[in-house]
Amino acid sequence: MSTSFNSSIKKARYMIGSLGGYSLIQLALDRLFSINHYYVMKVNLKRLSDYPLKRNPSGELSLLTVDDLTKIKQHVRKYKSNIRREILARIQFYERGFHNCYVMKIDNKIAYFQWLIYPNENENIRKYFKRTFYSLQDQQVMIENAFTFPEFRGRGYLPYVSRLLLNKAKNDGYKSAIGYIKNDKITSLNEFFKMDFKVIQYLREVKLAGRVFRNLKIK
């Protein structure tokens, strides 16, 4: 058996084991058939708002390492099922090759993580998410998958780190940023509006028999 096949089996086993029975059934039903809606949001990075933040949470920002990922994996089971699903989806995202994941750590504990995705990752977007995300234009980044660990919520990490990452992209010469936010994620929508993101499309997502379809306008 090939090493990549073995490693896929190992990953699948880990995911199934970590989800547990109830979450697994929920996930299977969701993948079998569900309909969700997302806002596609965009900001011109020149116009990124630097409104005063209510809180400046502590911590150090760095790129997620393999050790960090191992720690996250080891602790997944202590969270309740909906949180576990959120974390596992992000582990899978990382393992699909999206490695520009930033973590905010306090005393070496991970409080928050979030991705910046660059145009040179378009091939990977097309490989795994061609019905989910648009390919990025030159000089455009995508900001995705914000997550605060429950014990660190309510401290202001979402606006603080999102802005750090978007400013990093701006300083690296990128012109715009795009994000996809589910219509019931009111906290994230509010924060994105505050940063001057505008809704550019409302997407309907249909999951059917394990496949995902969004009504992307692909020429």
Ligand X SMILES: CC(C)(COP(=O)(O)OP(=O)(O)OC[C@H]1O[C@@H](n2cnc3c(N)ncnc32)[C@H](O)[C@@H]1OP(=O)(O)O)[C@@H](O)C(=O)NCCC(=O)NCCS
Site residues for ligand X per CB under 6 A: 54, 86, 146-148, 153-159, 181, 185, 187-188, 191
- Do residues 61 and 161 make contact, with C-beta atoms less than 8 angstroms apart? yes
Q: Which is nearer to ligand X, 54 or 78 (CB)?
A: 54
Cα 67 to the center of its chain, rounded Å: 19
CB of 17 to ligand X, least distance (A): 22
Minimum CB–partner distance for residue 184 and ligand X (Å): 9
Closer residue to ligand X, CB minimum distance, 121 or 191: 191
> Is 30 or 123 the residue whose CB approaches ligand X more closely?
30
Closest approach, Cβ 124 to ligand X, in A, equals: 20
Of 13 and 81, which CB lies nearer to ligand X in the complex structure? 81
How crowded is the C-beta side of 211, counted as CA atoms within 13 Å? 5
In order of 112, 170, 193, the CA distances from 57 in angstroms are 11, 22, 20
Edge-to-edge strand ranges of the sheet holding 176-182: 60-63, 101-106, 109-117, 140-148, 176-182, 33-44, 198-208, 211-214
At its nearest, how many Å lie between ligand X and the CB of residue 143? 9
Cα distance between residue 192 and residue 111, in whole Å: 20
Nearer to ligand X, 9 or 204 (CB): 204
> Closest distance between ligand X and the C-beta of residue 114, in Å?
8
Cβ density class 158-185: b for 16+ within 10 Å, e for less: bbbbbbebbeebbeeebebbbbbbeeee
Joined tokens for residue 148: 């605060």
